[in-house]
Amino acid sequence: MKLTPEQLTVFERDGYLFFPSLFSPAEVEILHAEVPKIYAESRPEIVREKDGVTPRSSFAAHTYNPVYAKLARHPRLVEPVTQVLGEDLYMHQFKINAKEAFDGDVWQWHQDYGTWKRDDDMPEPRAMNIALFLDEVNELNGPLMLIPGSHKQGVQSAGHDVQTTSYPLWTIDNATITRLVAEGGIVAPKGSPGAMLMFHGNLVHGSGSNMSPWRRNIVYLSLCAVSNHIRRFKRPEYIAHRDFTPIRPLPDDCLLRDDIEVELAPSRAA
């Protein structure tokens, strides 16, 4: 998978690219079938909503689930980021965000690189997010909202919000959001399961609550240039990884093949 010069220009300008049908229904089905198993585990990697029950986020499934171990090395996710950053990548963070039907809570406005810099001492915003839709994302189930062009203005000042939701986040104040939205507007890409959204570490984003009866699982890969690895190990290892080994992409049909197996982190296998 290679981005065209036009796609690279759009990415430079807007800070994101959207691929409406990157993975096939058969591939998505394989990924989806693992989600209930992952959320059913009681491990520290699973973050619940404030009610203590509804899954909010599941970290590092690629370290203990064989299917997600393959996804973390998928060429359709790894190669475009390698192309943009121009060097080998390692996995800084890997998570599934649930945004469950009825009870899925908000993610306040934030920049991921803001957190990576403040908490993890990542030197530069040479890291990228990949969001892979496992469910249909529509206007009513809490789609990701992006402020186009906001990645060009560096790291915004932010406050550490430990109250609004069950997951602590460096969030951006209302005056800054108002200014950025006046310049760039807000987009909320909608799409079918299998769609992929790639966005810059400094792109300001968030998502609303989900009151609909439709769950909205998204897998997030945060891929970082190896030379740009984090320097501080303050957060748990399953949230900010410390293994900087370059990712070697698997074959394009890896999810559909039984003969490809990835060695799991030995201490973390289920």
Alpha-carbon distances, residue 125 vs 153, 175, 179 (angstroms): 12, 23, 22
CA distance 170 to 74: 29
CA distance 21 to 200: 20
Tokens 């370059």 correspond to what residue?
246
Residue with Cβ nearer a copy of itself (10 or 106): 106
According to DSSP, the β-strands at 144-146 and 205-207 are antiparallel
Count, residues near a copy of itself per rule CB under 8 A? 24
CA distance 225 to 212: 38
| Distance in Å, CB of 175 to a copy of itself, minimum | 9
Residue with Cβ nearer a copy of itself (47 or 101): 101
Quick note: the x/- pattern for a copy of itself over 125-164, rule CB under 8 A, is: --------------xx-x--x-------------------
Helices (H), 100-212: 112-120, 174-184
**Of 158-187, which residues contact a copy of itself (CB under 8 A)?**
174, 177-178, 181-182, 186
DSSP codes of every residue in 161-189: E-SSSSS-EEE--HHHHHHHHHHH--B--
Residue with Cβ nearer a copy of itself (85 or 204): 204
* Short-list 166, 199, 141, CA closest to 18: 199
CA angle 20, 25, 31 (to 5 degrees): 100
| Distance in Å, CB of 213 to a copy of itself, minimum | 4
**Of 41-70, which residues contact a copy of itself (CB under 8 A)?**
none
DSSP-assigned beta bridge partners for residue 144: 207
Residue with Cβ nearer a copy of itself (157 or 178): 178
Quick note: the x/- pattern for a copy of itself over 92-121, rule CB under 8 A, is: ---------xx---x-xx------------
**CA 212 from centroid of its chain's CA atoms:** 22
CA distance 260 to 90: 20
Residue with Cβ nearer a copy of itself (7 or 212): 212
| Distance in Å, CB of 245 to a copy of itself, minimum | 37
> Contact at 8 Å (CB) between 255 and 24?
no
Residue with Cβ nearer a copy of itself (175 or 267): 175
Residue with Cβ nearer a copy of itself (47 or 145): 145
| Distance in Å, CB of 189 to a copy of itself, minimum | 12
| Distance in Å, CB of 74 to a copy of itself, minimum | 31
| Distance in Å, CB of 140 to a copy of itself, minimum | 6
**Of 183-242, which residues contact a copy of itself (CB under 8 A)?**
186, 188, 206-213
Which residues make up the interface to a copy of itself (CB under 8 A)?
A: 101-102, 106, 108-109, 139-140, 142, 145, 174, 177-178, 181-182, 186, 188, 206-213
